[in-house]
A and B are shown apart, each in its own frame.
Chain A
Amino acid sequence: MESTAHAFKENVGHALADPNLQDSLAKLKVGFSERRRQAAERLPEFEALRDRARDIKNHTLAHLDFYLEEFERKVIGLGGHVHWAPTAADARRIIAELCQSVNARTVAKSKSMVAEEIALNEHLEALGIAPIETDLGEYIIQLRNEPPSHIIAPAVHLTKDQVADTFLEHHAKLGFDKRLTERNDLVAEARYVLRQKFLDADVGLTGANFLVAETGSSMLVTNEGNADLSNTLPRMHIVLASIEKVIPTLEDAAVLLRVLARSATGQESSAYTTLNTGPKRPGDLDGPDQYHVVLLDNGRSSVLGTEMQEILRCIRCGACMNHCPVYGAVGGHAYGWVYPGPMGAVLTPQLVGVEEASNLPNASTFCGRCESVCPVRIPLPKLMRHWREREFEKHLTPKAVRQGLALWSFAARRPALYRRLTGIANRVLALFGRADGRYRALPLAGGWTRFRDFPAPQPGGTFHARWAKRKA
């Protein structure tokens, strides 16, 4: 998809003015995040598992070439195929050629953020191949021609009523001409409509949560069962995964699974965790004849060994966005590309360029909740700060901000001058604001006072002055 990350500020304006979106976002606080807290409390080993999960990912990244080759060797040994895609365009070409090799007309797709990243659907459609999203959330937004707004709940920005309207619009021609009001009826209707599409699909395309080097297995974690239908019924199964999804062994998978579902939705376990290893075996009554894994780099290998490397530990649980006050206020679409929230604010500049996405690492209060819930302990605020530094070094920061910072640093490096200036400001602000204790408007601070009052200084002087007095 085309990035609109550069227009973050305009996107935010629309998001804040959208009542449906604000209704949906209000549910995040009591939904996923509260359930995560309860799930973590039920498992005394949760924090130790998070440490271990971090260590496993660090170990894998330090030996990524080895584990990828090991994974490839195992897949080939079982009659599967591995395709290496340095860029998004390579991955699109490989997948299109695979689909064309079996004259595919439809592809049953299970939710894949990597497929969103490489804009696969548009590419397949242009070639006359119909991609059918089968995850309920992805199906809803495909009907609405919208991008996902969350990495595990793509339609989290929509209310039940909006879904009902969308289904009526698109399903009426299939004979479903009654507008539904209950969630379970909406789920049942989507199940019915999509069931035949599963049975008819020529190719099943899924992502992967993990690739297990030890066994050459791709591992998928879902609740609906759509990924499993996608990899069981069609005659070709294509797994699209980025290179950092590989992990060493099944034991490592056990650790990561225990933190993944709990961090994502607060579930003890997702309904389906599936390991697929190669194509249909002799004597099997079902399963695909062909099994292909497409390994996408798309810039990730160049992140290794840099100060940003830790983002490659991400297991895409979505906890960082579920707990982010900025995401909670503006939703996922405002971020303008595939990955929203704190992990997106770190990953997007890497994948689409800091020039395009420099707003995102600035869209953070640095409250630190994202880091405190991350199952693999990615220091997201620190990584966002790295991007701000790079932005400054590349002179992408707005002129007014640069000049302001230059002025501040001039004073801050001269302690006597700094104390004198802040002392004057303190006295002036205290003098005029003493009556109310706050300012409703203040010259040069309109950006602040337009939305909230600015507190007037309390008696006792500046922080420096009070600190000095206390120590004396």
Chain B
Amino acid sequence: MSDATHDARTQILDGIRRSLRRGELAGEARNAVDARLAEPPRGPSVARARLPQAEKVALFCQWAEALNATVARVGAADVPGEVTAYLARNNLPATVAMAPSPLLEGYDWSSQKMLSIRRGRGEGSDQVSVTGAFAGIAETGTVVMASGPDHPVSLNLLPDTHVVVLREADIVGGYEDVWERLRARYGKSRMPRTVNTITGPSRTGDIEQAMELGAHGPRRMHILVVRD
């Protein structure tokens, strides 16, 4: 840390403490905030997502569709076929950029003779991407993407059409349940480089407050909800 950085830092922190009329937090007060960080208290819980798992899945689908995504509920064996069929239904090319993830490799893509798959990050020219999802949030029909070697962030953003494969078991009630899962997977207070929570296709209300789809991210989002 250079002297200038150090001075600026001290200046701001000292300014805050002067305004709060105290020194650096110590003793009881410090223990209290340490404890709050260690065991984060939850806010008021939202009743609409406190449901048995099957109803959570239904609520997820309902909200995702209300917020302009499309949803197909399929068995694991039908995932590759549904991807191909979706592309055909929408007159999209049978060429996809796919996340190099073990979850997706678990499906039999070789069954789709006409489907051309490139595995890797997203490119500016990609029309369609296929990715998994770390979780789904029933409360708002939101999919959650955790970045890593198996899930490049660019696949969530660059293509015109984003096809998401989400297992029913990964659908949870609210954000708080996602945080718990992230802590379980990555460790307490550790996060993947990027967590994208995405609700429907990209949109903008910047012209006359009317929502238009397809601003900078995908114009279409299709979610395959896979039965356990």
B118 at the interface (CB under 8 A from A): no
Annotate B193-205 by CB proximity to A: 1 below 8 A, 0 otherwise: 1111111111111
**A269-B140 contact given A243-B12, A284-B152, CB 8 Å threshold:** yes
Cβ-neighbour of B207 out of A44, A68, A155, A251 (below 8 A): A155
B12-A86 in contact (CB<8A): yes
- On chain B, the residues within 8 Å of A188 by CB distance are 214
**CB 8 Å contact bits of A69-84 with B (1 = contact, 0 = none):** 1100010000000011
B45 to chain A, nearest CB (A): 8
Cβ-based interface call for A52 (8 A): yes
Q: Across the interface, do A283 and B193 meet the contact criterion of CB distance under 8 Å?
A: no
Task: Contact check, A276 vs B193: say whether CB atoms are below 8 A apart.
Answer: yes
Nearest CB in chain B to that of A287: its residue: B193
Does A250 touch B at the CB level, under 8 Å?
Answer: yes
Minimum CB–CB distance from B184 to chain A (whole Å) comes to 13
In the complex, which residues of chain B have a beta carbon less than 8 angstroms from the beta carbon of A15? Answer: none
Q: A48-B44, A302-B19 are in contact. Are A187 and B209 (CB under 8 A)?
A: no
Q: Is the CB of A275 within 8 A of B13?
A: no
CB-based contact A274/B175 at 8 Å? no
User: What number of A-B contacts does a CB cutoff of 8 Å give?
Assistant: 273
Find chain B residues with CB under 8 A from A32 CB. Answer: 209
Complex CA distance for A229 and B193, rounded to whole angstroms: 14
Q: Residue B217 contacts which of A216, A272, A279, A285 (CB distance < 8 angstroms)?
A: A272
Whether B212 is near chain A, meaning CB under 8 Å from some CB there, is: yes
Q: What's the minimum C-beta distance from A73 to chain B, rounded to whole angstroms?
A: 11
B114 interface residue, CB < 8 Å from A? Answer: no
Residue pair B206, A277 in contact (C-beta under 8 Å): no
Least Cβ–Cβ distance between A193 and chain B, in angstroms = 11
A residues 43-68 near B (Cβ < 8 Å) are: 43-45, 48-49, 52, 56, 59, 62-68
User: How many B residues have CB within 8 A of the partner chain?
Assistant: 82
Q: For A69, what are the chain B residues with a Cβ–Cβ distance below 8 Å? A: 13
Which chain A residue shows the least CB distance to B182?
Answer: A250
Say yes or no: B217 contacts A228, CB within 8 Å.
yes
* B16, B175, B190: most-surrounded residue (chain A CB, <10 A): B16
Docked-complex contact A274 and B193, CB < 8 angstroms: no
Q: Is A338 close to B, CB under 8 A?
A: no
**Alpha-carbon distance between A215 and B67 when the two chains are bound, in angstroms:** 29
A205 within 8 A of B: no
**Smallest CB-CB separation from B119: which chain A residue?**
A285
Q: Which residue of A lies closest to B146 (CB)?
A: A275
B27 lies within 8 A of chain A by Cβ: no
Name A50's closest neighbour in chain B (CB-CB): B44
- Tell me whether B37 and A248 are in contact (CB under 8 A): yes
A83 with B5, Cβ < 8 A, contacts A69-B13, A228-B153, A271-B201 known: yes
A290 to chain B, nearest CB (A): 13
Instruction: Give 1 or 0 for each of B128-164: 1 = CB within 8 Å of chain A CB.
Output: 0000000000001010000111001110111000000
Determine if A275 and B12 form an interchain contact, defined as CB atoms under 8 angstroms apart.
no
**Bound state CA distance, A257 and B25, in angstroms?**
28
Once A251-B179, A272-B197 are accepted as A-B contacts, the answer to whether A223 and B202 lie under 8 Å apart by CB is yes
Which residues of chain B (19-50) have a CB below 8 Å from chain A? 19-21, 24-25, 29-30, 33, 36-37, 40-48
- Assuming the A-B contacts A275-B195, A278-B193, A280-B193, are A62 and B20 also in contact, with contact meaning beta carbons closer than 8 angstroms in the complex? yes
A279 surroundings in chain B (CB, below 8 A): 193
> Which residues of chain B are near A48, meaning CB under 8 Å?
44
Give the chain B neighbours of A265 by CB distance below 8 A.
205
Min CB–CB distance A418 → chain B (angstroms): 42
| List of B residues within 8 angstroms of A160 by Cβ | 207-208
Also in contact, A154 and B206, with CB within 8 A (given A275-B191, A276-B194, A285-B120)? yes
Q: Which of B15, B19, B122, B194 lies in contact with A274, CB distance below 8 A?
A: B194
Candidates B18, B25, B156, B206; contact of A228 at CB < 8 Å:
B156
A270 touches B199 (CB 8 A): yes
Output the least CB separation between B176 and chain A (Å).
5
A residues near B13, Cβ cutoff 8 Å: 65, 68-69
Q: Could you tell me the distance between the alpha carbons of A68 and B11 in the complex, rounded to whole angstroms?
A: 13
B contact residues vs A (CB 8 Å cutoff):
5, 8-9, 11-13, 15-21, 24-25, 29-30, 33, 36-37, 40-48, 63, 66-67, 120-122, 124, 140, 142, 147-149, 152-154, 156-158, 174-176, 179, 182, 189-218
| Sample (14) of A-B pairs whose CB atoms are under 8 Å apart | A43-B48, A65-B24, A225-B202, A228-B156, A243-B16, A250-B40, A268-B67, A268-B199, A272-B196, A272-B202, A286-B154, A287-B193, A287-B194, A301-B19
A43-B48, A232-B153, A254-B175 known, 4 other contacts, Cβ within 8 Å: A59-B36, A86-B12, A90-B8, A272-B196
Write the residues of chain A forming the contact surface with B, with a CB cutoff of 8 angstroms. Answer: 24, 27-28, 31-32, 43-45, 48-49, 52, 56, 59, 62-70, 74, 83-86, 90, 134-137, 140, 153-156, 158-160, 163, 183-184, 186-188, 190-191, 194-196, 198-199, 213-217, 223-226, 228-229, 231-233, 243, 248-255, 257-258, 265, 268-281, 283-287, 295, 297, 301-306
